Amino acid sequence: MNRETLRAGLTTLVAAAIPKNARQISCAYFDDQPQRNAFGLRVDPRPAEGRVVAITDEAFIIKTARTSFVAVDRVLATRCPSMGDKVRVTPYCRRDFFGERLDAPRQESWSGSDGQVHTMTVLTLGGKTACIPLPVTPTCPYLSDLKEQLENLPTPDGRRTIANMLVDANAHAIALVDPEDEMLFETPPEISFTVTTQKFAGRVAVVYDRGDDLYVVELRQGGTVVTRIEEVDFMSLAALLMDLIDDGRWRRIEVEILQASH
């Protein structure tokens, strides 16, 4: 979807849906490009509801408020509605390992000097890092480093981290191999997940190779290693994992018909 082309012709496309006394209109875009807020921070758009007022070869446009519109990429949409349909459109958003939006409000409590408990609601501009819920706190420093890299290294699509990608791959049953320092060679440290995508279903393990100071990535099914890739540096880890397990379905924009036009 070409945003510039849509933006240039937007007023003409939605002219019939603009109030006569409106001085300006706004339009959000649901596509494959990262969204930014007024502070330039990466944000995830909220679902939008409205009636379809225009359809082009690349997009359909819904009216969400008096002078507000949303343009939706037809290639990424799960379906293309008809003119006049009332729809609910849900674009991709980053979530944590428990399925909650990263930018969801959270409650924080603390005790004052008088012993009274205070609670406040916290909103994080731009979301926060998806924290991998390890079953135990690792004692091996290389596992701590690996966890931090998985949570912070960006994926090639520019919209996620490796942890986000794992969430999108339905990662669960997280397990650790956490050896003592003297056992690093005999029992290499690793973090593994069970994932399910159209590209791969099974366990994916990231193993630290102390000898080369690099990673080994394994795909396992039924207790058998079906793919093993050695000598992976941390800068290549995101691209490799994306190539092995990411099926791209997370990009799809869910379109639900709330009320058909006829």
Please indicate, yes or no, if residue 103 is contained in any of the structural domains: no
Binning pLDDT at 50, 70 and 90, where does residue 122 land?
Answer: low
Together in a domain, 146 and 236: yes
Q: Is the predicted pLDDT of residue 109 greater than 90, yes or no?
A: no
pLDDT at position 246: 97
Does 41 fall in a domain? yes
Same domain flag for 140 and 59: no
Q: Grade residue 111 by pLDDT with cuts at 50, 70 and 90.
A: confident
Sign of CA dihedral 162, 237, 32, 85: negative
Helix (H) or strand (E) holding 9: helix 3-13
- 33 band by pLDDT with thresholds 50, 70 and 90: confident
pTM: 0.86
With residues binned 3-state (H G I as helix, E B as strand, rest as coil), the percentages for the chain, rounded to 5, are: 20, 35, 45
Confidence of residue 155 (pLDDT cuts 50, 70, 90): very high
45 plus 133 within the same structural domain: no
In a shared domain, residues 149 and 227: yes
Within a domain: 251: no
Res 104 pLDDT > 80: no
Distance CA 153, CA 79 (A): 33
Domain endpoint, select from 68, 93, 118: 93
Domain span at residue 26? 3-93
Give the CB-side neighbour count of residue 46, counting CA atoms within 13 A: 6
Q: Answer yes or no: do 7 and 85 share one domain.
A: yes
Structure tokens at 91: 């674009």
Same domain for 150 and 50?
no
Residue 260 within any structural domain of the chain = no
Whether 253 is in a domain gets the answer no
Single out the residue of 195, 204, 202 nearest to residue 249, CA to CA: 195
Report the alpha-carbon distance of residue 195 to residue 220 in Å, rounded.
10
Report residue 220 as tokens. 């396992």
Q: Residue 96: what pLDDT?
A: 93
Do residues 78 and 152 both lie within one domain?
Answer: no
pLDDT at residue 251, as a whole number: 94
136 and 211 housed in the same domain: yes
Same domain (yes/no): 80, 148: no
Least confident of 174-178, 182-186, 199-203: 182-186
Q: Is residue 104 part of a domain?
A: no
Stretch 127-133: mean pLDDT, rounded? 83
Whether 202 and 194 have beta carbons less than 8 Å apart is answered as yes
Q: Looking at the structure, tell me whether residues 133 and 81 fall in a common domain.
A: no
Instruction: Please check whether residue 128 is in contact with residue 102, taking contact to mean a CB–CB distance below 8 angstroms.
Output: yes
Cα–Cα distance, 142 to 48 (Å, whole number): 43
Q: What residues contact residue 237 under an 8 Å CB cut-off, 6+ apart?
A: 149, 150, 153, 162, 206, 215, 217
Is 190 a domain residue?
yes
As for how many domains the chain has, the answer is: 2
